Amino acid sequence: MARSETPPTTSRGEQTRQLILDMAIRRFADQGFRNTSVSAIARDLNLAPSAVYFHFADKEALFAAAFDRDAARLCDEALGLPGPVDPDYWQRVVARFVTAMDTHPLAHRVLSGREPELLSRLIDGDVTQRIRTAMENSLRAGQSIGDIAADLDPHDTAIALEAIFTAVVLTVTQVGGTGSSERVHAVGHFVRSALMPSHGTVRPTPGTEQNSP
């Protein structure tokens, strides 16, 4: 009889670190970096401030780690599980990012420009790289089944898509969602047209077909 694998256990120290990060996300999202103290976060968890400093060098390090955690969760939710590859993948990801923003308050705060010192972390950090990787994998898979133009370089195209994606998400977030549906649809249609094998023929986006006169 085969032995069942015992799932790895999380150490007490790691559990404490995760609790600190979750509380920091809530505190920083609600009150911002300047108005949040490490002592307040520790007090909410019935910890001494020294317990927080054991895991994070200072408030800046805690803030950055909390943002990374919330942004990573947002990224995972928006990118979704691997599924059928098609030219509409990019548009679906942007729409999911916009929709999921309300449940990721610290990522939303940074994206909306209320903590400008962390915007560079978004642009050059792990989240951006994960988006590029997902886009590149999607492009390569799409090329393998003929849904994406074969003459496109997946790596360079993924960088371009990530740049467009980031610009759209920042724009939509910083204007409070105004015109988000219109922008996401229009940019998605443009990108879809550019990715298809035949640039001269654009397939209608599902649900937008019109009857011919």
Give mean pLDDT, residues 118-138: 80
Give domain status of residue 105, yes or no: yes
**DSSP H or E segment with residue 60:** helix 59-79
Distances 24 to 48, 124, 174 between C-alpha atoms, Å: 15, 22, 23
Is 115 inside any structural domain? Answer: yes
**Stretch among 10-24, 148-162, 183-197 having the lowest mean pLDDT:** 183-197
User: How many whole angstroms separate alpha carbon 189 and alpha carbon 179?
Assistant: 15
Answer yes or no: is 35 within a domain. Answer: no
Residue 60 resides in a domain: no
pLDDT in tens, 179-208: 677 877 888 788 888 888 874 444 444 454
Distances (CA, A) of 119 to 85, 137, 204: 30, 26, 36
**Residue 41 domain-assigned?**
no
Does 108 reside within a domain? yes
Q: Is 201 inside a domain boundary? A: no
Residue 174 lies in a domain: yes
What is the domain-level CATH number for residue 171?
A: 1.10.357
Number of domains, the chain: 1
User: 92-101, 133-142, 176-185: which range is least confident on average?
Assistant: 176-185
Domain span at 92: 67-195
Element counts in the chain: helices (H) and strands (E): 10, 0
Residue 177: how many CA atoms within 13 Å on its side-chain side? 8
Q: pTM (2 decimals)?
A: 0.74
